[in-house]
Structure formats: C-alpha cells, structure tokens
Amino acid sequence: MAMSKIELRVSDVAPPTPEPPRTIYRDLFNLPDPVILGLTIRYYNFDEVGLYFRVTGSGIGYTFGTVILGLLASGTNAYVNLDNFGSRAKPAGEILESINLILRAYTDAAYTNLKWEYVRTVTVIWIDSSDPGYTVDVNNNFDDGTVQGWSAVQETGGPSCTCAVAQDYVLSPPYSLKMTHTSGEGGGWFQQQGRLQKAITTPNRNYVYAVLDIRCTALDEPNAKINRVFILRDGSILIWIGRDENLTSDAFPRNKWMRIVTPLPKDTALSFRISLRWYANYGVGVTRKGYIWLDDFKVISKD
C-alpha cells in the first residue's frame, strides 16, 4: 500500500508538525476489573476524495470494538471521543504497555473497499496511587466541608461560575467539590466555558502525578450539550477529552465519574485547571447550567 493519505493523532498538534510522543497514564487504585479504556482521537483525510472511516485497536490482553466514524470530506479532520473503546483485565501491579490504534478509510459507505490504513502506537503507563512508595503531597477530598483552595473562573458565556462543596454526587463521602456555570438568556446556541483551578507547587521528586476524579453534566437536556473537557497546567493543555468543533450535541460522557491521571513537572509552581466547554440553547427568561464535580484530587510523587 502506498504512503497513507490519512492520519490519526491523540493530541491537538496538527500535521505537518510531528506528533509528540503520547502516553496514557492510568491509576489502578479502586478501579473495577475488567478496566475500560476511553480516549479522544483526531483523524485526518488528506486524500482528494471523501472517505468513510472506522477505528479499532489491538494490544496484548485487550479487547477492542470497532467504531464507525462515517464520511469525512477531503482535506478535513475531526475529533471523536471513543468512550468504552477497549477493555482488559485489571493489571496486578504497575506496568508499561503499548496499544495500537488502527484507522481505516474506505471509498464506500458499506466499508468493503479499503483504501488506506494508519496505525498509531500509544504507550500506556499504569501506576498505583495507593502504593506506599508514593508520597501524597496534596490530598483534596473536601470532606472538611471547605473548597480546600479551589476556585471557579468564568471563561466564556455566563453570567456566573461558582464552586462550593456538595453532597449530591460524591466518591468519598460526605463531600465533593461542585462547579456551577450558569448561562445567560436570549435565543440560539451559545458557547459556555468555565473552569476549576488551584495553585499548587509540585515536590522536587523525579515522578510527580496528579490523580483526580471528575463528573460532568449540563442541564437541561436537550438545550445544553457538553463539548469537551481540558486538563491544563497554566495555559498548556495536558489532556483533551471531547471534540473541538462548535456542536449542539454531546461529545463528552455526561453523568459518569472519570479517573484522570497526568504527570506534572517537578519543583514547579503552577495553576492546575479543569475546564468544561458546553453549549446552551438560550430561551427567553430561561437559563441553563453546566456542572463539574471533583473528588479525591491527589498529587503524588516518588524518586
């Protein structure tokens, strides 16, 4: 097969800039068995014609489904969140492994005439945040009834974005942290984006990780849709889940706790941010609301 005119990436870095090495970090603590893998991909069509895409995966011990992505026009690209994309038995301890993401493009809607195939290899690193070899440098479970240094920031939309402890959805009772972003009023779909943030200074150790659990939703359906969630260090994107396009349909799993792990630089003062982009269809005299719940935020480290 000639050099492929399609590509799959797991970052927001666009061709022709080389894709940076990509690693998925996962935490074993309190995960079910088997464990489920989900991730966001960006796929490209550099062919002269529109093509029909689908994606699957392979990896030792994994079971993957095949996701039909549909028609993508020539010269365009798209994001998609692959929720519940693969599964494997829960590892017994910390390991490093690789998986292949396999993108295929067809000339027909029946997916019978394969034209291109592209494989992206991704490293998966499993950690165990409960291992006593780690030092717990930050532990925010909000169970003292305070926000423990977190604040809410309105980025777009509004008129308000606030945070407070809550008891409606928690992982470690009695409290979680809840961000409430309230839309304005009017007519039509408008972008809303708000974030939770906290200033932290990482320890001077060789391995530093942030581990957190989040749950997101937007009210009321069908007039509010979740577009994407960013995990950021200051203004730099660490993790992207969802889609980039301005949408009026969900592109991020709502009403579902998700465990997120990201490495952080050592001995660094930074702003850790969790940003939710959602869309509200304004009604006269009606406001919509977007929410993030955060629980069991930890920074752990070791040499």
By C-alpha distance, which of 51, 52, 80, 25 is closest to 211? Answer: 25
> What does residue 161 show for φ and ψ, rounded to 5 degrees?
-145, 115
Q: Give the pLDDT confidence of 262-294 residue by residue, as tens digits.
A: 999 999 999 999 999 998 887 767 788 999 999
Sheet with 269-282, edge to edge strand ranges: 151-156, 188-201, 269-282, 224-233, 236-242
Kindly report the pTM of this predicted structure: 0.91
In the chain, the domains with their CATH numbers are 6-127 (2.60.40.10), 135-302 (2.60.120.260)
By C-alpha distance, which of 256, 154, 243, 240 is closest to 197? Answer: 154
Output the pLDDT for position 129. Answer: 96
CB 185 within 8 Å of CB 284:
yes
Q: Give the pLDDT confidence of 146-200 residue by residue, as tens digits.
A: 999 999 999 998 899 999 999 999 999 999 999 999 987 777 788 899 999 999 9
Which segments of 46-146 are extended strands (E)? 51-58, 62-64, 67-72, 77-88, 96-106, 114-127, 135-140
CB 23 within 8 Å of CB 39:
no
Output the pLDDT for position 248. Answer: 64
By C-alpha distance, which of 230, 223, 246, 247 is closest to 155? Answer: 230
Output the pLDDT for position 245. Answer: 66
pLDDT tens series, the chain, 303 aa: 567 899 999 988 889 999 988 899 999 999 999 999 999 999 999 999 999 999 999 999 999 999 999 999 999 999 999 999 999 999 999 999 999 999 999 999 999 999 999 999 999 999 999 999 999 999 999 999 999 999 999 999 889 999 999 999 999 999 999 999 998 777 778 889 999 999 999 999 999 999 999 999 998 767 888 989 999 999 999 998 987 666 667 888 889 999 999 999 999 999 999 999 998 887 767 788 999 999 999 999 999
